Amino acid sequence: MPGKQLLMTFPVTATSHTLADYRARGGYATLARALSQLKPEDITKEVTTAGLLGHGGAAFSAGRKWSVVHLNDGQPHYLCANADEGEPGTFKDRWILENAPHLLLESMLIAAYALQVRHAFVYIRGEFDLPYRRLAGAIEEAYAAGYFGERILDSDFGCDIVAYRGAGSYVCGEASGLLSSLEGKRGYPRNRPPRLTVQGLYRRPTVVNNVETLANVAGIVANGAAWYRTFGTAKCPGTQLVSISGHIARPGVYELEYGYSLEKFLYEDCGGMAGGKALKALVPGGISTKVLTGAEIKGVTFDHQSLAAAGSSVGSGGMIAIADGTCMVRLLQVMLRFYHHESCGQCTPCREGTGWMHRIIDRIVAGQGRPGDLDQLIEISKRNDGTTICGMGDAAGYATIGILAKFRDEFDYWIEHKHSRLAGNLEVPAHA
């Protein structure tokens, strides 16, 4: 096990996702205690002191986000769990939805009470079938047991919840795009300010948090901030669910305690690279985070500080291990095709930029690359940065700059020789 665990603390069985099993593990006792003994502001204070960070990519303090909501402003407040899980390489929230849906629901109820929310939502990507059925099943179980609806557990607090299904759009994972979608519209992200905690869903104060961020709330409220801080490092408390895929011997979802050695994780916990190859590069947290080379991960630990020092970030916890022999030109082509396909088209630099980058990389792969193409790619990437409504414009640029900075020779080779130095390999044959 990669360190101590907060979420993956029970054996997954055929029934571990059910209400009966969750209750047998002590489930919903924290909600009962919160509703009868704690004030809403106590909960937010505990979450802030615990240092719980967002697990959806941006690592913003959850407690500080919640603190923006004024409890007695006379307006409705909304809470939404972000279960869009669209960042390529990421499949961790699915683990919670499938195996611990009641942990998410109990945590959301506690958060809803802290934020005085009457209506909560889980925005779940439209393709997720089993995760949706598990979540919807858990919601019905919880309603039947009196955990949702009016006067929950004989308190004055009432809350309804809806599992809201997306319909195939990456930008709906971006918090404001998500809320546009939840209003039944196109998933267009919105300009900020105003912040969503000031004007979010239907222009009311709204907290959007990642599924995993919220799933940590019940534990923090049950055991206290000081207990939470015994996990992870002093600057980066807690754990992160990491989904690892690509050329790795044992892909899957692992819970890593922050501060855990990346090398130990890759080579011991995950069994090293598939086919015993060497690690060429690692995407640490979804394709929108900058790749690190095999050499660069030496001595790096899995936490925000160490990964930032190495020039990348924790991101969404979606790791992709890339073995020696993989063609980085083709890999970037797959990424740029994706960004181009998913740009919602509102901002000129993103709409035109992702299309332009996609055309350039396609041309290089077709053997018609020109000497200035790589500088052009970098130039477009930089122009996207910070000039768009949402982070997607930036993300396409980070992915591009990250790969070009470290593997430029492969691109130069393709442009000069009109073919890949690595036979265009994405899959690495075990025997090669």
Partner 1 sequence: MKHLIPEFDRLKARFPAGCESSLVLPCVRRIQEERGFVADSDIDGLVDYLGVPRIQIEEVLSYYTQFRRAPIGRWHLQTCRNVSCSMCGAERLMAHLREHLGVGPGETTADGRITYSTVECLGSCGTAPVVMVNDTYHESMTVEKLDALLKELG
Ligand X SMILES: Cc1cc2nc3c(=O)[nH]c(=O)nc-3n(C[C@H](O)[C@H](O)[C@H](O)COP(=O)(O)O)c2cc1C
**Which residues bind to ligand SF4, rule: CB under 6 A?**
171, 189, 343-347, 350-351, 388-390, 392-393
* Closer Cβ to ligand SF4, 210 or 343, answer by number: 343
State which H helix or E strand residue 220 sits in.
Answer: helix 217-223
What are the DSSP calls for 331-346, one per residue? HHHHHHHHHHHH--S-
Rounded distance between C-alpha atoms, residue 287 and residue 306, angstroms: 19
* Closer Cβ to ligand SF4, 244 or 347, answer by number: 347
Q: At what angle do helices 392-417 and 373-384 cross, to 10 degrees?
A: 180
* Closer Cβ to ligand X, 245 or 425, answer by number: 245
Asked if 44 touches ligand X (CB under 6 A), the answer is no
> Coil, strand or helix: which one is 155?
coil
Spatial neighbors of 115 by CB under 8 A, at least 6 apart, are 40, 44, 66, 69, 71, 77, 79, 207
Residue from 3, 51, 57, 232 in contact with ligand X (CB under 6 A):
57
Q: How many C-alpha atoms does 342 have within 13 Å on its Cβ side?
A: 25
- Cis check for the bond before 101: say yes or no (omega within 30 of 0): no
209 binds, among partner 1, ligand SF4, ligand X, none (CB under 5 to 8 A by kind): ligand X
Q: Which of residues 207-226 bind ligand X (CB under 6 A)?
A: 208-210, 213
Residue from 10, 164, 356, 413 in contact with partner 1 (CB under 8 A):
164
Please say whether the beta carbons of 128 and 172 come within 8 A: no
| Residues 27-66 as x/- pattern, contact with partner 1 by CB under 8 A | ----------------------------------------
The pair of three-digit structure tokens given for residue 413, joined into one six-digit string: 């080779």
How near is the Cβ of 222 to partner 1 at its closest, in Å?
27
- Find the part of the chain contacting partner 1 (CB under 8 A) among 26-34, 57-65, 84-92, 372-380: 84-92
82 binds, among partner 1, ligand X, ligand SF4, none (CB under 5 to 8 A by kind): ligand X
CA dihedral 385, 295, 233, 248 (to 10 degrees): 90
How near is the Cβ of 388 to ligand SF4 at its closest, in Å?
3
Q: How many C-alpha atoms does 351 have within 13 Å on its Cβ side?
A: 7
Asked if 350 touches ligand X (CB under 6 A), the answer is no
Please say whether the beta carbons of 286 and 315 come within 8 A: yes
Q: Which of residues 88-107 bind partner 1 (CB under 8 A)?
A: 88-91, 93-94
Write the Ramachandran bin of 125: left for phi over 0, alpha for psi from -120 to 50, otherwise beta: beta
Rounded distance between C-alpha atoms, residue 337 and residue 355, angstroms: 8
Asked if 4 touches partner 1 (CB under 8 A), the answer is no
How near is the Cβ of 160 to partner 1 at its closest, in Å?
5
How near is the Cβ of 189 to ligand SF4 at its closest, in Å?
4
Query: Which residues lie near partner 1 (CB under 8 A)?
Result: 76, 78, 85-91, 93-94, 118-119, 125-130, 160-162, 164-170, 181-187, 202, 243-247, 251-253, 283, 287, 318, 320, 322, 326, 330-331, 334-335, 337-338, 341-342, 426-428
**Footprint of ligand X on this chain (CB under 6 A)?**
54-58, 60, 82, 84-87, 171, 173-175, 208-210, 213, 390-392
